[in-house]
A and B are shown apart, each in its own frame.
Chain A
């Protein structure tokens, strides 16, 4: 397979970046997108160049480290797929592919395609925790959580923090990411002690980090590899207002 890549190169957060053209030949359609970038880097290194930096870790779609803006879409054209789970068979021989980092003011570029997503960590630190001692994993049937609620909480907890929601949002809002954690903990008994503070604290941090507001366009749930629903954002808003009224 033959692919022409236009790939974002940027030395550091302050530098001005640009798209760089590379031609790749003899690619195997069963390669993953990241394996193609490995091939590209070997080619660059052999030629004595500076390899393209990009984020990745598990390459199994579970860690949330990878995240590229591929052909104008977060994680590329496939639904419910992380960048590492995208394969070349989803492209055609001779295709041109544009690769950029996830962009947002709160996600500064470190180098090339690598971005700093520590703003997400600080949002979680602001309230995405439980202070109750939960001890060892209890016997499942002893937990007073109905099956439906457990499923909903788990759907929210599935967020891998990749940042695709921010990357695609016209406001660069972190509402879906923040809401997933607020919603997850609001539904479970362990999350109750901080419930009145959590949505307030986490969304205040979200604003502080420079993410935008939510317009409910729904683009985030379309791009989310874990298919987290924007209904969780409505629940976060509910929790925010509930907290404002009930705050002790």
Chain B
């Protein structure tokens, strides 16, 4: 098979660009979704309006196709790299192996963390994106599709909230290594900014995990008063 980006560094560039684009999207996605934390009536009106605005916008549409493509390419090249890595390791494994002492577990487990994310994305898209786009859902009092109720109802279930929290922790660790690593892969790295690049990517990973965990947890507890 003669895929573009045959070179291992070029492949890592592609992983970094697609991963970086997805990471940038997450920032916007979280900012928009924080509207779900508003008082119920306000949140319903504003969030539904926001959803309608986005789904009607041609620019947003173009960006969303970019996102789907990024996820596909990112996952595809992750798989290709994993296969070549397996081949490079060779047939005979170390009999006695303590290599894990030399690097953090999450940096070695990007494939596993990414696979969790892929499963999560499938569930997430099916339950919200597909339901909003392709099924008839009730309208709110302003005549907009009531996505707020779909989301809020989903988070009434403890197991569903737990699924989100687990996936977001996987996301957090994927980003903790991923963002820093993406800067490296693109060659955008300078010893002078080493500390700042590390701090910024750590802060970003924590903020994304905390933000995306907060929404389902908040909606669970406001709808299931003790």
A residues near B (Cβ < 8 Å) are 6, 8, 17, 19, 69, 71-74, 98, 100, 103-107, 168, 170-173, 199, 203-204, 206-207, 210-219, 222-223, 229-231, 233-242
Contact = CB atoms under 8 A, between A and B. Distances in A.
The 7 closest A-B pairs by CB, nearest first: A238-B187, A72-B98, A234-B189, A212-B88, A105-B90, A98-B96, A237-B187
B102 A237 contact: no
Nearest to A231: B191
B99 A216 contact: no
Contact of B104 (A98, A207, A217): A217
Given A104-B88, A231-B191, A234-B184, A204 B103 contact: no
Nearest to B90: A105
A213 B181 CA distance: 13
Contacts of B96: 6, 71-72, 98, 100
Contacts of A173: 8, 85, 88
The binding surface of chain B is classed by DSSP as: helix
Interface in B180-223: 180-181, 183-189, 191, 194
B95 A172 contact: no
19 contacts: A71-B96, A71-B98, A72-B97, A100-B95, A104-B90, A105-B90, A170-B103, A172-B90, A199-B9, A203-B9, A214-B8, A216-B184, A217-B103, A230-B184, A234-B183, A234-B184, A234-B189, A237-B13, A239-B187
A170 B85 contact: yes
B108 A213 contact: no
Interface in B90-127: 90-99, 101-104, 107-108, 110
Contacts of A238: 186-189
B87 interface: yes
Contacts of A239: 187
Contacts of A218: 102-104, 107
Given A212-B88, A213-B11, 5 more contacts: A73-B101, A168-B99, A170-B89, A215-B181, A237-B186
The binding surface of chain A is classed by DSSP as: mixed
Nearest to A210: B88
B72 to A, nearest CB: 19
Contacts of B184: 216, 230, 233-234, 237
Q: Which of A6, A105, A171, A172 has the most CB of B within 10 A?
A: A171
B84 interface: yes
Contacts of B89: 103-105, 170-172, 212
A220 to B, nearest CB: 8
Nearest to A69: B94
A100 B187 contact: no
A149 to B, nearest CB: 12
B81 interface: yes
Nearest to B11: A213
A213 B8 contact: yes
Nearest to B178: A216
B102 A241 contact: no
B18 to A, nearest CB: 15
B165 to A, nearest CB: 26
Nearest to B6: A207
Contact of B187 (A103, A215, A217, A241): A241
B12 interface: yes
Interface in B143-190: 177, 180-181, 183-189
Contacts of B177: 216
